[in-house]
């Protein structure tokens, strides 16, 4: 299980990880959230959602809850294939949560590349993929992919 980082800790680790990714270590960022700019309403199972996201993460992953029910996950030493496996595990883990609450949760993935070499670019790409994920049956989308 992963430790939930504050948004500030997450950003510091992301900055550091990008420097390492620039030297060849695979890196992916995942954004997990409902459609649009919605948040998960209080009392709608945020604790269960948080626990599910944390259980799916590896010990080396970093996860932060930017807003209630909106998560960013940093997958260090994780390439595109590994990020898709993570997304698949996440969607399977969230299936019953989504069904019980009737609320979709999307998963957008962005992998480090020269065109995505800043925290802002990686997070924006993951968010763009998340927006597009609501058009896919699995609610998973990888940026550019």
| 3-state SS, residue 61 | coil
For residue 40, give the CATH number of its domain.
Answer: 3.30.70.270
Tell me which residue range forms the domain holding 46: 4-142
How many independent structural domains does the chain possess? Answer: 1
CA-to-CA distance for 90 and 36, rounded, in angstroms? 19
* Interatomic CA distance for residues 12 and 14, integer angstroms: 5
User: Block means of pLDDT (10 residues each) for the chain, length 145 residues?
Assistant: 81 94 94 80 77 87 88 94 91 84 87 94 94 84 78
* Exposure string over 56-75, b if 16+ CB within 10 A, otherwise e: bbeeebbbbbeeebbbbbbb
pLDDT score recorded for residue 116: 93
């Amino acid at each position: 299980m992963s430790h939930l980082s504050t948004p500030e800790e997450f950003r510091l680790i992301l900055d550091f990880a990008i420097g390492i990714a620039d030297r060849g270590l695979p890196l992916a960022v995942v954004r997990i959230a409902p459609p649009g700019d919605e948040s998960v309403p209080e009392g709608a199972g945020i604790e269960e959602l948080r626990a599910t996201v944390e259980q799916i993460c590896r010990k080396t992953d970093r996860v932060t809850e930017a807003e209630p029910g909106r998560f960013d996950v940093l997958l260090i030493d994780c390439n595109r294939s590994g990020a898709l496996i993570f997304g698949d595990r996440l969607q399977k883990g969230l299936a019953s949560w989504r069904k019980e609450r009737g609320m979709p949760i999307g998963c957008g993935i962005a992998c480090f590349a020269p065109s995505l070499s800043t925290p802002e670019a990686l997070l924006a790409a993951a968010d763009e993929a998340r927006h597009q994920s609501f058009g896919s049956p699995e609610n998973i989308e990888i940026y550019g992919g």
